[in-house]
Amino acid sequence: MNSVYATFLYSAIIVISTLTHSAYGKSYQYSATRYLAQVKKKNKVGKKKRLQKKRKKKQRVKKKKLRNDKGLWVFGAIGFPHPITIGLLQKEGKVTSGGELGYYQQKVNAAGQVKDVNLKIFKLAGLYRQHPIKNDPIFWGIASGFHQFQVDGKQRVKSSTNGTPVDLELDISTKIQALYITPHGGLAWDRGKWRIGFSVGYLIPIYSQGDIGIQLTGDPLIDNAVKNTASYREIETDLEKLGAKAGRLGLPVLHILEVSKQW
């Protein structure tokens, strides 16, 4: 009897254990499957959001590039031989074109007989530039226009009229004008609506003219006496040579800093 009872109890325990293990196994399996499904769903949603974010970023970059590829830009530069240059540029993709204007005036402490020297520089030119690779900083271009260098000063001349010594201070002026072309190249980086860069080129005169001006007293006797002096003839010759030489002279052109702002 005891043997039968023990056998029954043992069998019951085995059945209960099997059922319990099976129930827990199914429950665990269901939980794991649901967890994996949730993870997969989250990954899918996350991947979709990342793709949308990446797509929006590309669209913003594309719009920014398209905005910078077209439009009107205000341009300014400092350099040599035209110290200050301003202008307007129109950009269309790889090509930039426009006009530039430069003006500069400076008092110069000159050594020698010429005093109160005043230097004036003026230029007006058209500009064409091209980027071989779109949105690349490297560019080449050509400028063509007119510029003028004017130097004014005072110089003393000693003469005599009918034995009377005359000491005059003459106003002298040299004006050099030229039509020119300037092939050049450089780098320019876009920073939003700003562009910063520099350029190097060479100014080649294609037509030049030098004018000199010497203001005398207006008295024929004194003026003729002054014109016959060695000092006056020397001044006149030097100014003519300077004007002719400077007008034909090619010059390196350097824009140390170029700054443009999109309008």
97: helix, coil or strand? strand
pLDDT at residue 153, rounded to an integer: 78
CA distances from 211 to 199, 226, 243 (A): 31, 20, 7
- CA-closest candidate to residue 235, choices 162, 158, 177: 158
- CA-closest candidate to residue 87, choices 99, 72, 104: 99
The C-alpha atoms of residue 136 and residue 199 are separated, in whole angstroms, by 15
DSSP characters for 182-246? EEEEEEEEEETTEEEEEEEEEEEEEEEEEEEEEE--S-HHHHHHHHTSHHHHHHHHHHHHHHHHH
Up-side HSE of residue 68: CA atoms within 13 Å toward CB?
20
Q: Is the bond leading into 183 cis (omega within 30 degrees of zero)?
A: no
pLDDT at residue 78, rounded to an integer: 95
Up-side HSE of residue 116: CA atoms within 13 Å toward CB?
10
The C-alpha atoms of residue 241 and residue 233 are separated, in whole angstroms, by 12
Q: Residues 40, 43, 48, CA angle at the centre, nearest 5°? A: 130
Bridge partner list, 71: 91
pLDDT at residue 51, rounded to an integer: 76
pLDDT at residue 24, rounded to an integer: 46
Instruction: Catalogue all structural domains in the chain, each as residue range(s) with its CATH number.
Output: 71-262 (2.40.160)
Kindly state the tokens that stand for 235: 């001044």
Furthest C-alpha separation in the chain: 170
Tally Cβ neighbours within 10 Å of residue 197.
Answer: 18
In contact, 173 and 212? CB cutoff 8 Å: yes
- CA-closest candidate to residue 91, choices 183, 186, 193, 181: 193
Residue type, 183: P
pLDDT at residue 172, rounded to an integer: 77
Residue type, 93: G
- pLDDT tens for the chain, 263 residues long, are 545 555 555 555 555 555 555 544 444 455 556 656 666 676 776 677 777 777 776 666 555 554 556 789 999 999 988 899 999 999 888 899 999 999 988 887 665 566 677 888 899 999 999 988 877 889 999 999 999 988 887 777 666 655 566 667 777 778 888 899 999 999 999 888 899 999 999 999 998 887 777 776 677 776 776 677 776 777 677 666 666 666 677 889 999 999 999 88
| Model confidence, pTM | 0.62
Residue type, 76: G
Tally Cβ neighbours within 10 Å of residue 63.
Answer: 10
In contact, 118 and 126? CB cutoff 8 Å: no
Backbone angles phi, psi at 235, to 5 degrees: -60, -45
